[in-house]
Amino acid sequence: MPLVNLTAREITCKLVYYGPGRCGKTTNLQYIHGRVPENRRGRMVSLATQSDRTLFFDFLPIELGVISGFTTRFQLYTVPGQVYYNATRRLVLQGADGVVFVADSQARRFDENVESFKNLQDNLLEQGVDIRQIPLVLQYNKQDLPPDLILSPAELDDTFNFRSVPSLPADALHGTGVFETLKALSTVVLQRLAARPPSL
């Protein structure tokens, strides 16, 4: 649940990027880090292995600005995608206000996307959260690859978008769809907050 400081009029939301290994979660955060003005972001922390694979999480705090008198901040996290890091994925997912599921659009990675999506569902359920209830946005990354190697957004929607949530094609390496994804999730999370009174 977003943390709302009614005294100092601040809102803090935790947003988690989830998906299989090498789908582009860290790349999303790196792009955001590179483009958001320095006074609106903190340092990007990456707890990574020597080969730069995410070991625990990446973390990037950004400040959205003042919304209706509330200074609004987002804590952006990624989870490690490799199957064997499920324990750390569960920890990072704890208390998430919204999730971006980053799918790798390559046809050969389809099964890994499905496995990761099921894993997201299981890990949310373990925390008592129904995947049909939490704010969710789907990002279909690597749509810049040759068409014969990838699945189209419509094909991926058929599998993953049973809730008709926002889904966006992306090329995170070059920034296409990165801000659109974050904007879509921010909107859903904060609209939900506006509809439901805040609490500590």
Partner 1 sequence: MRTIEPWVERPLTTFVAEAQVRVALLMTSSGMVVAQHGFTRSLDVMTAAALGAGIVASTREIAREMNAGTFGAVVHQGPRLGVYLMPFEMPTGTWIGLAVFGPDTSLGIVQLFFGRLVDDLGRDAPREAPARQVLPETFEDDLNQSLRALFGR
Q: Is 180 in the site for partner 1 (CB under 8 A)?
A: yes
Binder among 18, 31, 77, 85 for partner 1 (CB under 8 A) = 77
* Close Cβ partners of 29 (under 8 Å, ≥ 6 residues apart): 17, 44, 58, 60, 76, 78
Q: Is 190 in the site for partner 1 (CB under 8 A)?
A: yes
Give the DSSP H/E element, type plus range, for residue 48. strand 45-48
Comparison of 77 and 160: residue with beta carbon closer to partner 1: 77
Comparison of 78 and 105: residue with beta carbon closer to partner 1: 78
Between CA 199 and CA 97 the distance in angstroms is 13
Q: 188 and 137 in contact (C-beta within 8 Å)? A: yes
Give min distance, CB of 159 to partner 1, in A: 27
Comparison of 96 and 156: residue with beta carbon closer to partner 1: 96
Comparison of 88 and 161: residue with beta carbon closer to partner 1: 88
Between CA 46 and CA 61 the distance in angstroms is 12
Between CA 189 and CA 192 the distance in angstroms is 5
Give min distance, CB of 72 to partner 1, in A: 7
Between CA 69 and CA 66 the distance in angstroms is 6
The footprint of partner 1 on residues 86-115 (CB under 8 A) is 87-88, 91-92, 94-96
Q: 102 and 32 in contact (C-beta within 8 Å)? A: no
Give min distance, CB of 62 to partner 1, in A: 8
Where does this chain touch partner 1 (CB under 8 A) — which range of 21-29, 100-108, 150-158, 177-185?
177-185
Distances in whole angstroms, Cα of residue 110 to Cα of each of 38, 74, 79, 91, 93? 37, 30, 19, 25, 23
Binding site for partner 1 (CB under 8 A): 3, 5-8, 12, 14, 36, 40-43, 45, 47, 56-57, 59, 61-70, 72-73, 75, 77, 87-88, 91-92, 94-96, 179-180, 182-183, 186-187, 190-191, 193-194, 197-200
